[in-house]
Structure 1
Amino acid sequence: MMAKAARAAAAWRTYREVTKPGSPGLMTRIRAIPRMVGAVMRGQYAGMGKSKLAMLGLGVVYILSPVDVVPDFLVLIGVVDDFGVFLWLAATLLGESGRYVEHERNVIQARLVEEDG
């Protein structure tokens, strides 16, 4: 029961963060995910470590894998664990990609200041 509440709270926090005025929007965050992954892999974005990126990758593999900790043939319970991982993955990716978009904006702004200065 606590895990469900924690997942719901994480989903709500993500929704509030994505819809906050001035914050990068949902599609901006989604489009930034491949750039963020590339920047992390190249060591150009220190806001997220490779270990966290690996955990996110494992989350994707878990969702796509036919092998589950709780088998899907246990109808409701088997689907709930996949959904919980999906919520965690979505909330984490959207939160991290929003921070990455802000990072990109700061880098661009710093370059413009350097060029003007």
Structure 2
Amino acid sequence: MAARLRRRLALVALVRVFKPGTPGVGRRLAAVPRLIAATLRGQYDGAARLATMAVAAIYLVSPFDFIGVAIFLIVGVLGDAALVTWLAGALMDETERFLEWERGSGRRPVA
């Protein structure tokens, strides 16, 4: 990738979703399959970030997470809430970066 795209904090990215002039949630979610495909083909540099998000999502539905919530009820639930917030923000940030990359590289999204 010629120009380095800027990454933001996940929480800032989550708030930016509602800022006028940025891609909406629907457009971002529609870009996820293209983002994954471009990453797997090695065209886009999001592999590490996607892997981190996948590990976080798997952890949220794993039995290990349920054990932590059962033992440390309030702290476990707060930890899960923080992880879900980070995951949503990271996804919104990465999809915004990807859409920016698509525009900059001249690639046209598949309808």
Q: What amino acid sits opposite 1:55 in the alignment?
A: T
Determine the C-alpha separation between the residues in 1 that align with 2:67 and 2:79. Answer: 7
In structure 1, the residue matched to 2:99 is: 101
Unaligned runs of 5+ in 1: 1-8, 112-117
Deviation of 1:69 after TM superposition, in Å, equals: 8.8
In structure 2, the residue matched to 1:115 is: none
Work out whether 1:66 is the aligned partner of 2:63: yes
Q: Give the CA RMSD over aligned residues.
A: 2.3
* Max Rg structure: 1
Deviation of 1:106 after TM superposition, in Å, equals: 2.6
The structure-2 alpha-carbon separation of the partners of 1:15 and 1:61, relative to structure 1 and needing over 3 Å to count, comes to closer
Instruction: Normalising by structure 2, report the TM-score.
Output: 0.74
Determine the C-alpha separation between the residues in 2 that align with 1:91 and 1:64. Answer: 18
Deviation of 1:37 after TM superposition, in Å, equals: 1.5
In structure 1, the residue matched to 2:4 is: none
Maintained 8 Å contact 1:70/1:81 = no
Determine the C-alpha separation between the residues in 1 that align with 2:13 and 2:51. Answer: 21
In structure 2, the residue matched to 1:80 is: 78
Pairs aligned (count): 99
In structure 2, the residue matched to 1:34 is: 33
